[in-house]
């Protein structure tokens, strides 16, 4: 597992519809604000809340979706200047301006995300860093609009009966907003949205082949982070009634990222822990500003290398036990996706694929029928993996058409093909290793949840899939900690959870011992008996000949033979092109 994945390992997400602990803490903080009469302490509480909002948004982007951004200062400014300009130039009501600020910031975030999210990792951080620098220069130099270093004065604050909010009331407001954000995100993280985001940081290809629109979810995460950061900026601007370019520096972007990394990326309480600790550290270090960068840099290194789960990771031993799993249906067969009759399930016509001057598929014509076990075989370099990737939308063909149940899906992409009933496993395992087996398989049901299936029903169906594949005992286990053969079954279960019409297995027996291979063959037969069409790419000829109804032979990107196992075994062209002898084609 990579360092980035280790750092972002999520705590088991909480269940239930209400978080009474969060409500109690918020109530106690509100009482504390009532008791405190010192503006200094109230100011610290206010900034803790603002930083929590920024960190909660950053946690969505970096902690769950795994996208590191160094441009949050620019989004903080977007919210602040939005509320400043709306109240001073256009004389909006302060409450409406505050409500509009996160919308404006989310729009700016969208404009940044559209080009930025085409890149990953360090490249993404550099692109967002460039945005932060441009934003800082823009507000500094465009004095007619943003006031430059002088800033904008007279920003209208929230008021009651024409009386501006006191600092105590601002603290209450930020506590209420923080509680609302916490409850909303906790609910989102424990369901379809949270699983989708987590899957992105572990394996985008596997996520897409599970029905997740990768680019759309990454963009949404960026917009949520931008909106909450913009809300934080708007609160600061209105409370101060003043804002200038000094507020938005590279230091602020690093500080917001550090809030998440130090608190615990990918955990619901990490942003809160980071906000409290770093706000207090900022107050303490205010008398030694020259030391701030050194201290924050040390904290960042400490969080990355010595405390990868952040402050909240120190309390893992007191984490509550996972909730009880729903019972698996007794004796119920897995439901099968209905398919249109009278048309081929999937048809390839004239498929070609070139990688520069290398041709990996040449005029491939293929028809896959429902309720049959197909096999795709051929020597190494025959183009089998290329064809599987085309079938599942991972790569587009150079020419030709792909039709699924009469619909042209040539350019549909992986997530749309998955939603339409095409599921797959991979030659090299692509599990979400830090997630539980249950959550891995629930990711496979993502597209069905998007089609109106309730979460509770999806969990019942997933439990049936786990029972069918013999994985019930491993439901709560971390997928990456299981033996290799069991991990292979988890990947298969994830594909079955989408209720596929066509299941593609890319070398499913690779790395399995003979006993596991026999069990796999029995499991594939049971899947075929349900009515699911199977296309299997496999080098184990014994497995292929024993369970296949129809075999396609590929050589150098060309289909050289099709037929049942006996026809393929006796085909001279197959024997010559594939192995050079018939020894390896015997059952």
| pLDDT tens column, 90-147 | 999 999 999 999 999 999 999 999 888 878 778 888 888 889 889 988 998 998 889 8
Q: What is the per-residue DSSP string for 438-476?
A: HHHHHHHTHHHHTTT--HHHHHHHHHHHHHHTT-GGGTT
Mean pLDDT, the chain, whole residue set: 89
Rounded-to-integer distance, Cα 241 and Cα 231, Å: 15
Q: Please compute the mean of the pLDDT values over residues 515-522 and round it to a whole number.
A: 94
Mark out the alpha helices in 203-246 (DSSP H runs): 204-209, 214-240
Task: Please work out, in degrees rounded to the nearest 5, the angle formed at the alpha carbon of residue 388 by the alpha carbons of 481 and 510.
Answer: 40
Q: What tens digit of pLDDT does each residue of 194-203 get?
A: 999 999 999 9
For position 9, what pLDDT does the model report? 41
Q: Which has the higher per-residue pLDDT, 71 or 289?
A: 71
Using 50, 70 and 90 to split pLDDT, how confident is the model at 579? low
| 156 has pLDDT over 50 | yes
Thinking of the domain 346-585, which architecture would CATH place it in? 3-Layer(aba) Sandwich (3.40)
Question: What pLDDT is stored for residue 506 in this prediction?
Answer: 94
Q: Are the C-beta atoms of residues 509 and 517 closer than 8 Å to each other?
A: yes
Neighbour-count burial for 343-355, b at 16+ CB within 10 Å, e otherwise: ebbbbbeebbbee
C-alpha span between 236 and 247 (Å, rounded):
10
Q: How far apart are CA 459 and CA 35, in angstroms?
A: 46
- Scanning the structure block, which residue is given the tokens 């709306």? 86
pLDDT tens for residues 313-330?
888 777 766 767 776 666
Residues of the chain with CATH 3.40.50.300: 346-585
Share of the chain above pLDDT 90, in %: 66
Residue range 476-504: average pLDDT?
Answer: 95
Say whether pTM exceeds 0.85: yes
Nearest to 11 by CA among 248, 314, 462, 237: 314
pLDDT of residue 5: 40
Cα–Cα separations (whole angstroms), residue 509 to 427, 430, 500, 560: 9, 15, 20, 24
Q: Where in the chain is the domain with CATH 1.10.3470?
A: 42-314
Tokens of 35: 């008791």
pLDDT of residue 32: 95
Question: How high is the pLDDT of residue 328?
Answer: 66
- For 42-314, CATH number out of 1.10.3470, 3.40.50, 1.25.40, 1.10.287 equals 1.10.3470
Give the β-pairing of 502-506 and 533-537. Answer: parallel
Instruction: Decide: residue 460, CB within 10 A, 0-12 exposed, 13-18 middle, 19+ buried.
Output: middle
The mean pLDDT of 1-6, rounded to a whole number, is 38
Nearest CA among 383, 455, 423 for reference residue 533 = 423
For residues 178-191, one letter each, b for 16 or more C-beta atoms within 10 angstroms of the residue's C-beta and e for the rest, the string is bbebbbebbbbbbe
Short-list 106, 61, 57, 60, CA closest to 79: 106
Residue carrying structure tokens 């997400």: 13
Angle between helices 121-141 and 72-88 (to 10 degrees): 30
Query: Which residues partner with 505 through β-bridges?
Result: 536
User: pLDDT of 335-386, one tens digit each?
Assistant: 889 888 888 999 999 999 998 878 889 999 999 999 899 999 988 888 899 9
Question: Quick one: 35 exposed, middle or buried, by C-beta within 10 A (0-12, 13-18, 19+)?
Answer: exposed
Residues 6 or more apart whose Cβ sits within 8 Å of residue 394: 205, 208, 209, 414
Listed ranges 126-135, 169-178, 554-563; the one with the highest mean pLDDT: 169-178
242-271 per-position pLDDT tens digit: 999 888 888 899 899 999 999 999 999 999
Residue 499 in this model has a pLDDT that exceeds 90: yes
> How is 509-550 classified by DSSP, letter by letter?
TTT--HHHHHHHHHHHHHHHHTT-EEEEE-S-HHHHHHH-SE
More confident residue, 139 or 286: 139
In the structure, what pLDDT confidence band is assigned to residue 21 with cuts at 50, 70 and 90? confident
pLDDT digits 0-9 by tens, 213-240: 999 999 999 999 999 999 999 999 999 9
For the segment 5-30, the average pLDDT, to the nearest whole number, is 62
Task: Please give the average per-residue pLDDT across 28-45, as a whole number.
Answer: 94
Tokens of 453: 């299936």
- Kindly state the tokens that stand for 141: 């130099």
d(CA 165, CA 158): 6
Q: Is the pLDDT of residue 1 over 50?
A: no
CA distances from 527 to 104, 305, 409, 448 (A): 50, 45, 25, 19
SS3 of 381, please? coil
Torsion of CA 366, 575, 385, 494, to 10 degrees: 80
Alpha-carbon span 401 to 419, nearest angstrom:
19
State the average pLDDT over residues 65-93: 94
pLDDT computed for residue 165 by the predictor:
96
């Amino acid at each position: 597992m990579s360092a980035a994945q280790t750092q972002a390992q999520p705590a088991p997400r909480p269940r239930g519809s209400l978080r009474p602990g969060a409500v109690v803490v918020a109530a106690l903080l509100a009482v504390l604000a009532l008791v405190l009469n010192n503006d200094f302490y109230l100011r610290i509480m206010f900034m803790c809340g603002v930083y929590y909002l920024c960190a909660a948004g950053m946690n969505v982007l970096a902690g769950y979706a795994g996208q590191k951004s160094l441009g949050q200062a620019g989004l903080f400014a977007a919210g602040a200047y939005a509320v400043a300009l709306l109240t001073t130039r256009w004389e909006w009501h302060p409450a409406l301006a505050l409500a509009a600020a996160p919308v404006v910031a989310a729009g700016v975030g969208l404009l940044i995300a559209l080009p930025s999210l085409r890149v990953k990792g360090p490249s993404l951080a550099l692109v967002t860093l460039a945005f932060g620098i441009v934003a800082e220069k823009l507000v500094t130099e465009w004095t007619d609009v943003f006031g430059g270093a002088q800033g904008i004065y007279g920003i209208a604050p929230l008021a009651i009966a024409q009386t501006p909010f006191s600092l105590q009331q601002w603290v209450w407001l930020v506590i209420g907003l923080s509680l609302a954000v916490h409850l909303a995100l906790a609910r989102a993280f424990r369901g379809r949205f949270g699983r989708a985001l987590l899957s992105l940081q572990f394996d985008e290809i596997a996520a897409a082949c599970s029905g997740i629109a990768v680019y759309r979810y990454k963009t949404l995460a960026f917009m949520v982070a931008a909106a909450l950061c913009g809300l934080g900026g708007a609160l600061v601007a209105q409370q101060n009634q003043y804002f200038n370019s000094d507020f938005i520096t590279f230091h602020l972007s690093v500080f917001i990222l550090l809030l998440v990394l130090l608190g615990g990326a990918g955990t619901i309480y990490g942003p809160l822990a980071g906000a409290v600790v770093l706000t207090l550290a900022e107050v303490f270090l205010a008398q030694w500003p020259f030391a701030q960068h050194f201290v924050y840099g040390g904290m960042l290194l400490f969080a990355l290398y010595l405390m990868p789960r952040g402050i909240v990771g120190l309390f893992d031993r007191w984490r509550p036990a996972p909730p009880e799993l729903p019972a698996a249906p007794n004796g119920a067969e897995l439901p099968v996706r209905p398919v249109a009759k009278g048309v081929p399930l999937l048809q390839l016509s004239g498929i070609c694929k070139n990688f520069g001057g290398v041709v990996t598929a040449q005029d491939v014509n293929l028809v896959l029928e429902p309720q049959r076990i197909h096999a795709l075989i051929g020597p190494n370099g025959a183009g089998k993996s290329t064809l599987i990737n085309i079938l599942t939308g991972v790569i587009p063909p150079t020419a030709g058409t792909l039709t699924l149940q009469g619909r042209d899906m040539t350019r549909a992409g992986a997530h749309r093909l998955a939603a339409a009933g095409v599921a797959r496993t991979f030659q090299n395992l692509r599990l979400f290793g830090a997630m539980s087996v249950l959550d891995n398989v629930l990711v496979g049901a993502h597209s069905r949840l998007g089609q109106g299936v309730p979460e509770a029903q999806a969990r019942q169906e997933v439990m049936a899939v786990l029972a069918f594949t013999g994985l019930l005992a491993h439901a709560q286990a971390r997928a990456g900690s299981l033996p290799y053969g069991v991990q292979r079954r988890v990947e298969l279960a994830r594909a079955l959870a989408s209720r596929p019409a066509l299941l593609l297995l890319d070398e499913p027996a690779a790395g399995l011992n003979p006993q596991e291979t026999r069990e796999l063959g029995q499991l594939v037969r049971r899947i075929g008996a349900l009515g699911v069409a199977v296309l299997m790419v496999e080098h184990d000829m014994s497995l292929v000949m024993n369970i296949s109804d129809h075999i396609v032979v590929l050589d150098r990107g060309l289909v050289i033979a099709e037929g049942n196992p006996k026809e393929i075994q006796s085909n001279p062209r197959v024997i010559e092109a594939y192995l050079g002898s018939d020894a390896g084609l015997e059952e």
